[in-house]
Amino acid sequence: MNPTFSVQARDGAARLGRLVTAHGVIETPAFMPVGTYGTVKAMTPEELEGLGAQIILGNTFHLMLRPGPPIIAAHGGLHRFMHWPHPILTDSGGFQVFSLKSLRQISEDGVRFRSPVDGREVRLTPEDSMEVQLALRSDIAMALDDCTEHPATEEQARASMERSMRWAARSHARYYRAEGGAPPGGLFGIVQGGMHVTLRLASLEALLHLDWPGLAVGGLAVGESEEQRLSVLEGLVPHMPAGLPRYLMGVGRPEDIVAAVLRGIDLFDCVMPTRHARNGHLFTSAGVLNIRNSGFASDLAPIDPDCDCYTCSNFSRAYLRHLDRCNEILGSRLNTIHNLHYYIGLMRSLRGAIAAGTLDSWAGQFLATRRAAGAVA
Q: How far apart are CA 322 and CA 309, in angstroms?
A: 19
Q: Which of residues 71-100 bind its own copies (CB under 8 A)?
A: 71, 74-75, 81-83
Q: If binding is defined by CB under 8 A, does position 67 make contact with its own copies?
A: yes
From the list 139, 146, 256, 269, the catalytic residue is: 269
Has 128 been annotated as catalytic? no
From the list 11, 91, 139, 324, the catalytic residue is: 91
In this chain, which of 314, 358, 361, 365 binds its own copies, going by CB under 8 A?
Answer: 314
User: Of 121 and 328, which CB lies nearer to its own copies in the complex structure?
Assistant: 328
Inter-residue contact 104 to 111 (CB < 8 Å): yes
CB 274 to its own copies: min, Å: 10
Has 256 been annotated as catalytic? no
Contact partners, residue 83, CB within 8 Å, separation at least 6: 45
Alpha carbons within 13 angstroms on the beta-carbon side of residue 268 total 28
Q: If binding is defined by CB under 8 A, does position 326 make contact with its own copies?
A: yes
CB 144 to its own copies: min, Å: 23
CB 132 to its own copies: min, Å: 15
Question: Binding mask 183-222 vs its own copies (x if CB under 8 A, - otherwise)?
Answer: ----------------------------------------
Inter-residue contact 136 to 75 (CB < 8 Å): no
Q: If binding is defined by CB under 8 A, does position 37 make contact with its own copies?
A: yes
DSSP 205-272: HHHTTS--S-EEE-S-SSS--HHHHHHHHHHHGGGS-TTS-EEETT--SHHHHHHHHHTT--EEE-SH
Binding residues for its own copies, rule: CB under 8 A, are 37-39, 41-44, 66-67, 70-71, 74-75, 81-83, 297-298, 300, 314-316, 318-319, 321-323, 325-326, 328-330, 332-333
Question: Which residues are known to be catalytic?
Answer: 91, 269
